[in-house]
Structure 1
Amino acid sequence: MSRVKRAPWRGVAPQNQLSDRPRLTTSAMIASLAAEGQRTSPAPFGHALAELARSRPEILGLTADLAKYTDLHVFAQAHPDRFYQMGMAEQLLMLAAAGLAHEGFVPFVTTYAAFASRRTFDFVSQGIAEEGLNVKICCALPGLTTGYGPSHQATEDIAIFRGMPDLVIVDPCDALDIEQAVPAIAAHDGPVYMRLLRGKVPLVLDEYGYRFELGRAKLLRDGPDALIVSSGFMTMRALETAKLLEADRVQVAVLHVPTIKPLDEETILREVGRTARLTVVAENHTVIGGLGEAVAGLLLRSGVVPPRFRQVALPDAFLDAGALPTLHDRYGISAEAMVKSIKSWL
């Protein structure tokens, strides 16, 4: 049985707790993040990896019963002799990848982020990171990108992995980011954890002349009133928020931080320190241990104190199951919710 069919163990809040909340008509539990009419690209990770492997025979693809649900099936179809289905056994998956890396291969392993971070932490730490092995761990359903509830919502995966030495952490925004990140992390000599968006992934960053560089943050737009420092699909939400706020004559800058570790400290300190605007860190992750605390710690250690600092992030809680757009509104990470929050902070 495929893991995507596994029933959640935590459902939505009781009806009497929902009566005063807006209800959306969609029932999608794993929905596309793209708005209606938004440009998308199908399976960017799978296509990028399959293309890269044409010139890199050492690249392998391994998964834990989730090729279809991590877009690794595209790689499997293109390179069936280099694809390994390891079954529902993430710990075996990680150690098998470690062994292959010891032999000079570059394994790309996929599963859900919840399974990689919670079930295999010690195996990644001792078997991969401590050995400095060239394993790329690429995981779908990071943060709140599924409505299946806490069993599948990896809202704390970055917090779990940030404390692991020598592990690079990447959180791409859109299809372009993923397509460009794949060869970049393959070229990096060492272990990488990358969050994935799957299926029909939105395409937004090409409008900003963007190019992914490992370890570098990019200012996508400028503005004197507020600065949003963001990662993952929350950069897309930040750009949507900035456009909505223009109607109220509020000018918002957006700094995209696709590499959480190592953090681009120089760029973040420069952008936060150059004006007296509101600084907001937006992330698809719990408020604990993610980009927000990484940026706050950097500012504290560097003596850069913004006049106002706020976080848009998921609460430190086990989240509800339900329709994904409804949950994004409920937990404050939709563009409309961000507009409301930023207006209240200005």
Structure 2
Amino acid sequence: MSKTNATTNTKPKLKTSAMIASIAGEGQATRSAPFGHALVELGRHKQNVIGMTADLGKYTDLHLFAQAFPERYYQMGMAEQLLMGAAAGFAHEGAQPFVTTYAVFATRRAYDFMHQTIAEDNLDVKIVCALPGLTTGYGPSHQAAEDLALMRAMPNMTVIDPCDAIDIEQMVPAIAAHKGPVYARLLRGNVPVVLDEYDYKFELGKAKLLRDGAEVLVISSGIMTMRALEVAKALEADRIGVAVLHVPTIKPLDTETILREARRKGRLVVVAENHTVIGGLGEAVATTLMQAGVSVPFRQVGLPDAFLDAGALPTLHDRYGISASVMGEAIKGWIA
């Protein structure tokens, strides 16, 4: 999809604690339902692609696939375990299921079914889940703060945390070309467009240096790459050079690129993720550095090891340190 298809929100949006609240800032360019549109395009070329959901087609943008290919769409009801088991059965018969639900329901409620019926047999099932991390204000029942840690621990599972609409659009055909199970976080609805400024191309298993900087290296994934780019631009005024290394694939991790950038002298390394600091990208990067004998100043920006509050997303992002403003102040304090 070309850049000209992006739309810009001109009216200020009321920030609420709604489950599907947008993460787009005021005036930020967005694209509507990038996952849904990309999957429809994939379905036109691959007849074995099917869409499956647990009563959340509208809220994961899978309804677009249902409209285009009703004979290849399966609504399984509020039964996530059944959803995963049925997806495994379809994959055994040669279909390529794209399964959607909320991240909490997949990773917490249906974990064993993914583990035993999909991952153990290395089946070609793509599990694409909305409301990752702190992207809803509905509290612990819907905030998937630990999903990456859970999925990283599952053998055979590839794990992806895309940044924006461009990442999602390019991710869909890439994971379809990969044989084996994939867990991908999903931003749904009107999704920000950020990476168009950086000559970006999604490659499975590859990290991308979006911008360079001499004082700080931010290694980030998901919406925190958006925040890191905002911080980097803001800190230019203070003559602080911030490099941003986007890591869309959490597993397998691009250790070669991470080590190459971390070995550059004189930079604080900050890992930023929309996930608990336990078991996610931060610990994966720290382990990579330690095992390679790379000793650098190291900090984490992430969610605490706690059950998070309910409320409006901007308030919660400030409270838990993942907003651009709070993250920028933290970085300035660390290098002072």
Answer yes or no: same fold by TM over 0.5.
yes
Letter in structure 2 aligned against 1:116: A
Aligned residue in 2 for 1:328: 317
Aligned residue in 1 for 2:30: 40
Mapped to 2, the partners of 1:302 and 1:126 lie a distance apart of 33
Mapped to 1, the partners of 2:240 and 2:163 lie a distance apart of 23
Q: Percent identity between the aligned chains?
A: 72
Once the two structures are superposed, residues 17-36 of structure 1 have per-residue CA deviations (whole angstroms, 9 ceiling, x without a partner) of xxxxxxx9733423211111
Mapped to 2, the partners of 1:119 and 1:304 lie a distance apart of 38
Mapped to 2, the partners of 1:104 and 1:97 lie a distance apart of 11
Structure 2 unaligned blocks of 5 or more:
1-12
Matches within 5 A, 1:133-152: 133-152=123-142
Letter in structure 2 aligned against 1:225: E
Mapped to 2, the partners of 1:137 and 1:126 lie a distance apart of 15
Q: Which one of 110, 123, 145 corresponds to residue 120 of structure 1? A: 110
Aligned residue in 2 for 1:9: none
Aligned residue in 1 for 2:3: none
Q: Which one of 47, 51, 69 corresponds to residue 79 of structure 1? A: 69
Q: Which one of 79, 84, 91 corresponds to residue 101 of structure 1? A: 91
Contact 2:17 2:138 in 1 (8 A): no
Mapped to 2, the partners of 1:26 and 1:120 lie a distance apart of 31
Contact 2:17 2:310 in 1 (8 A): no
2:57 equivalent to 1:67 = yes
Letter in structure 1 aligned against 2:227: R
Instruction: Output the TM-score relative to the length of structure 2.
Output: 0.95
Letter in structure 1 aligned against 2:154: M
Letter in structure 2 aligned against 1:314: L
Letter in structure 1 aligned against 2:332: K
Letter in structure 1 aligned against 2:244: V
Contact 2:60 2:188 in 1 (8 A): yes
Matches within 5 A, 1:250-289: 250-289=240-279
Aligned residue in 2 for 1:338: 327
Mapped to 1, the partners of 2:125 and 2:236 lie a distance apart of 43
Aligned residue in 2 for 1:88: 78
Structure 1 unaligned blocks of 5 or more:
1-23
2:273 equivalent to 1:310 = no
Report the CA distance between 1:162 and its aligned residue: 0.7
Contact 2:163 2:225 in 1 (8 A): yes
Mapped to 2, the partners of 1:229 and 1:153 lie a distance apart of 23
Letter in structure 2 aligned against 1:126: Q
SS of residue matched to 1:54: helix
Mapped to 2, the partners of 1:205 and 1:139 lie a distance apart of 21
Mapped to 1, the partners of 2:14 and 2:153 lie a distance apart of 40
Matches within 5 A, 1:176-325: 176-306=166-296, 308-325=297-314
Mapped to 1, the partners of 2:105 and 2:330 lie a distance apart of 32
Once the two structures are superposed, residues 22-59 of structure 1 have per-residue CA deviations (whole angstroms, 9 ceiling, x without a partner) of xx973342321111111000000000000110010000
State how many pairs are aligned: 322
